[in-house]
A = this chain, B = another copy of it.
């Protein structure tokens, strides 16, 4: 055994890997095989597919010895260099292999990876660790998608099924909106190259010059967003980007994706079924277009990702994330001088299109297709949400979605020039 891979670090990696695999499976405990097979729109995938695709990742990128079936084309997501992926809009038609078979395959791959970790010779270790770490991070991303996608599926069903009843959360009174100022100047953003994991798109770390700015102390609430709607927000073109306004017209948007009105009162479809809207909780499931329009109506703007990251860099990595088990964003705690809700609760749309940092180069081969090829037509979101795995909370993490996407747990934080 070399210094690089003492027994303890092997055990730690194996344990982290196993834990991730079990976490994914635990997320589907309340779902039926039928729930897990359906695909509600092109952008969402069946839970079974998520469980299979994360398995495919390890089976494809690690030298595993497997006896079971070979489903590498079937569960390839978008890696063009690995052959033609099965068409994304038809993932819900893969009723075979069935869930049980997929779970068997998962188990076989899980054991094979653990064995690989335990038996890898030192020469392999340097390649294995980053690949397995990437596989774990990849699987955690899909954990979040299992939840966002099942919510979307259930939203299509007139019976409005619940994924799980809500657990009780502490009551929090509404908190006033305050503004926190930052001096600006030269700052550095991007992942610091220590030994902790980060995706390639979080680097290289680099200097950025920022003018002074101010950040809202908390996310925009349902109550505030309701005022925007009542002020004609969805009927007044002047608040909207041109593409946003076209989308509002074409899709007939009149409020956030999951809002429902019953007896003239607002409700929201949630992972716990239809629930009354809490005016103090942050508004969720809005697109970039809506976030931007709200900001314009409020005479503010959205923060850039550099402003967000710079403000977040010194905050503790804690928040209402998947580990809380609450599955919903909570009202903010009272203002304290630092911005609340930066980590967890909801992803925050930034004003920054998703592009490469200076000096960024994607890796070679298929793994290089991970992040770089999506760097157009998408906006960056920051901070994680109530369904984000805990160790995906970090200041440098860059999530990205097209500006019309609404089914993620995304909300709005305002900013203004300082």
Contacts and interface: CB of A to CB of B under 8 A. Distances in A.
B241 A359 contact: no
A404 to B, nearest CB: 10
A384 to B, nearest CB: 24
A24 interface: no
Contacts of A353: 353, 355, 376
Interface in A232-253: 237-238, 240-245
Interface stretch (A105-113, A152-160, A171-179, A216-224): A152-160
Contact of A244 (B96, B376, B379): B376
Contacts of A158: 73-74, 86
A17 to B, nearest CB: 28
B78 A242 contact: yes
Interface stretch (A30-38, A55-63, A330-338): A30-38
B377 A34 contact: no
Contact of A159 (B32, B74, B352): B74
A312 to B, nearest CB: 19
A211 B358 contact: yes
Chain A contact patch, size range: 35 or more
A26 interface: no
A375 interface: yes
Contacts of A161: 95-96
A131 to B, nearest CB: 19
Interface stretch (A133-141, A202-210, A319-327): A202-210
A351 B356 contact: yes
B376 A243 contact: yes
B376 A95 contact: no
A82 to B, nearest CB: 10
A77 to B, nearest CB: 11
A40 interface: yes
A403 interface: yes
A210 B288 CA distance: 28
A197 to B, nearest CB: 23
B209 A32 contact: no
Contact of A38 (B38, B288, B352): B38
Given A34-B34, A158-B86, A211-B206, A238 B81 contact: yes
Given A34-B34, A186-B209, A376-B403, A97 B242 contact: no
Contacts of A33: 32-34
A90 interface: yes
A92 interface: yes
Interface centre among A32, A48, A153 (most CB of B within 10 A): A32
A417 interface: yes
A157 B90 CA distance: 9
The 5 closest A-B pairs by CB, nearest first: A80-B237, A353-B353, A34-B95, A35-B95, A93-B156
Interface of A: 32-35, 37-38, 40, 48, 73-74, 78, 80-81, 86, 90, 92-99, 153-154, 156-159, 161, 186, 206-211, 237-238, 240-245, 288-289, 292, 301, 351-353, 355-356, 358-359, 369, 373-377, 379, 403, 417
Given A34-B96, A351-B356, A353-B355, 20 more contacts: A34-B48, A34-B98, A35-B95, A35-B96, A38-B92, A74-B158, A80-B238, A93-B157, A94-B157, A95-B157, A96-B157, A96-B161, A97-B159, A209-B209, A211-B358, A238-B369, A241-B375, A242-B373, A242-B374, A376-B379
